[in-house]
Chain A
Amino acid sequence: MAHFKKKKKGFPALSTASLPDVIFMLLFFFMVTTVMRNAELKVKVAPPKADQIKKLENKSLVSYIFIGVPQQTKVFGTLPRIQLNDQFAEPVQIREFIAAEREKMKEEDKNKMTVSMKIDSETEMGIVTDVKQELRKASALKITYSTLKGNPLDRPVNY
């Protein structure tokens, strides 16, 4: 009976011997195509919808600025804050941030740097404009307003 022990399960019609290989392939695919979330969002960002959008091409040349209401309102208050990478910041610190991000890039890529702004829908334009002015001063002129894909006119509006 010992010789027949292996046949207890019966022949699988499909050989499952290559299942680990398939899984490894999927794993490598995900390792290559995704990006480790580099910053924990400390602010609540619900991006607005737009349909005239373009995909960001080269992720390594992108710096992120988050603007929104902090997630821990008891500690940080309810006014919208700016988050650069993983810390809160004030508009004046944006210039240093851009210079630091530029340093990390190679010479020829420096003028292809884009700044992706992920801003909460309910934020008021005052703080956004301050950030844009600082970006202009730091010569970071290529910007993207990060949005979800959708028709912005679908929502019920109050005007």
Chain B
Amino acid sequence: MAKREIQEINAGSMADIAFLLLIFFLVTTSMDTDSGIVRKLPPMPDPNQEQEDIQVKERNVFVVLVNRSNQLLVEGQLMNVKDLREAAKEFIQNPNNDENLPVKEPKYFEYFGTLEVTSKHIISLQNDRGTAYKTYITVQNELAAAYNELRDELAMSKWFKKYDDLDEKYQKVIDEIYPMKISEAEPKNVGG
């Protein structure tokens, strides 16, 4: 009988053990790629500091109201949420220098020179306490989309790349030309 040089421990079941452990991990953990809309909340106003009411011209403000029945009232008119993106883009860009849309002022930007931009525009969003969260997210999404589309268009026309593919310093300049100015007021019970 020749001396057996085979392994004492049968390693054939190592694969089975490994499979079991793998399945355990697949089941108990979550590859939860958490993604969502990123926002920054405004800090709480200092109670001791005097609240100065900033004077804004009506033409510089884009008023979006959402009521309890998830209907939108944009600048005093009923609007379907599908049309919000285009309306917001027109407001932010004011391509024809319309008098009812924000004031366009010339400002100097690196890489672009002097451009006329609506530097003082504000989008004001007000919900009702009874508005559905998904409507709120849809509105936020469409407003963010308006800004992102404008930024993409500008990046394409200047550097032939989409905004996300640009270097950080170029992105910063575009952010200055189209800053995201979405202001949210506290929801009241404005009713349906």
Contact = CB atoms under 8 A, between A and B. Distances in A.
Interface of A: 19-20, 23-24, 26-27, 30-31, 33-37, 47-56, 59, 62, 114, 116, 119-126, 128-129, 132-133, 135-137, 139-147, 149, 152-153, 157-159
Contact of B38 (A19, A33, A132, A144): A144
Shortest 8 CB-CB distances between A and B: which pairs? A126-B129, A23-B18, A34-B29, A121-B134, A48-B134, A52-B144, A146-B36, A50-B141
Contact of B22 (A23, A37, A125, A139): A23
Q: How large is the interface on B (under 10, 10 to 19, 20 to 34, 35 or more residues)?
A: 35 or more
Contact of A123 (B133, B138, B141): B133
Nearest to A139: B43
Given A20-B18, A35-B32, A48-B138, A144 B39 contact: yes
Contacts, number: 163
A88 to B, nearest CB: 18
Given A146-B35, A147-B35, A20 B30 contact: no
Contact of B133 (A24, A55, A124, A142): A124
Given A34-B31, A121-B134, A52 B11 contact: no
A119 B133 contact: yes
